[in-house]
Amino acid sequence: MSLTLVIGNKNYSSWSLRAWIAMTAAGIAFTEVFIPLDQPDTKERIKRHSPTGKVPALIDGDMLVFESIAILEHLAERFPEARLWPQDPAARAHARSIAGEMHAGFAALRSHCPMNLWRPVERRELTPEVEQDLARITQIWRNARENYGRGSSFLFGGFTAADAMFAPVAARFRTYDIPCDAVSRAYVEAIHVMPAFKAWRDAALKEPYVIAADEVDWPKVKKTGEA
C-alpha cells in the first residue's frame, strides 16, 4: 500500500523534515505532496489532507497520521525492519524519552533561531533562555552518544527516529554558528553529511518562497551564495 507524505517548505519546515528524513534514510518509498506555507490558501490546502491544517501528515491507505512523533511511531510499527527505534529496550526507552522532549520543548531556540537552510552560516546573539535550551540539548546528545552511540555517528548507533527529531536542531546549530562541545559538533556534522539531509537541503535552496517570520535578518533575506 502506497504512502503519501504532505510537507511544507523544505527551507523552513523543521517538522516536515523530521518525517521526511526518517523515511528517506530508512529507504521507505513514498509520494511527496508539497504545500507552500504562509500563503493565503495554505491552511485550506493542507486541510484537504489533514484536519489540523498543519504539516506533516502521512497518508497510509485509509489511515491518516499527523504530528511528527506519531508519524515516526507509525513508521516504526509499519516497517520494523527499518529499526527506527533502537533494539535494546533501555536504549529504546531513552530514545523515545528524548524524542518526546524534543517534540514538546525548546520553544526559545525554535523561536529565536528558526530553521532556515539558505541563510549563510552567521552567528546570532543568543538570549539566556536560548542558552538554557542549548545546554540541555547538548547534554542530551552527549549522554546518548556516551551511553548508547559510542563509536557511531548518531545518538544510538544507527540512524533512528530520535535523530530524525533532532536533525532540524543540528541544522540550527550550523546556520547560526552555535558554539558547542566536540561531541555535539561531530553530531551536527554527521547529520549534515547524510545523503538524505543533503538531498533535502539541495531542494530547499531552490525554493522561491520567502517566509518573513523565519528570516531573522528581515527585511534582508540572506541566502548562501548571494552578496
Q: What is the pLDDT along the chain (227 residues), one digit of tens a residue?
A: 699 999 999 999 999 999 999 999 999 999 999 999 999 999 999 999 999 999 999 999 999 999 999 999 999 999 999 999 999 999 999 999 999 999 999 999 999 999 999 999 999 999 999 999 999 999 999 999 999 999 899 999 999 999 999 999 999 999 999 999 999 999 999 999 999 999 999 999 999 999 999 999 999 999 987 75
Are both 36 and 108 inside the same structural domain?
Answer: no
CATH number for the domain including 27? 3.40.30.10
Specify the pLDDT at position 226.
72
Query: Which residue range is the domain that position 102 belongs to?
Result: 89-201
Specify the pLDDT at position 118.
98
Q: For 35-74, where are the E strands, in sequence order?
A: 57-60, 63-66
Domain final residue, candidates 50, 82, 114:
82
CATH number for the domain including 183? 1.20.1050
Are both 34 and 118 inside the same structural domain?
Answer: no
CA distance 64 to 149: 33
- Whether 123 is covered by a domain: the verdict is yes
- Whether 138 is covered by a domain: the verdict is yes
- Whether 217 is covered by a domain: the verdict is no
Are both 100 and 188 inside the same structural domain?
Answer: yes
Domain final residue, candidates 28, 51, 82:
82
DSSP alpha helix (H) spans, the chain: 14-25, 42-47, 68-78, 89-104, 107-112, 128-147, 161-175, 182-192, 195-204
Residue labelled with grid coordinates 528570516? 215
Are both 96 and 124 inside the same structural domain?
Answer: yes
Specify the pLDDT at position 166.
98
Are both 137 and 58 inside the same structural domain?
Answer: no
Specify the pLDDT at position 1.
64
- Whether 121 is covered by a domain: the verdict is yes
Are both 120 and 194 inside the same structural domain?
Answer: yes
First-to-last CA distance in the chain?
47
- Domain count for the chain: 2
C-alpha cell at 111: 523561536
List the beta bridge partners of residue 211: none
Specify the pLDDT at position 151.
87
CA distance 169 to 115: 8
Please give the model's pTM, rounded to 2 decimal places.
Answer: 0.96
- Whether 223 is covered by a domain: the verdict is no
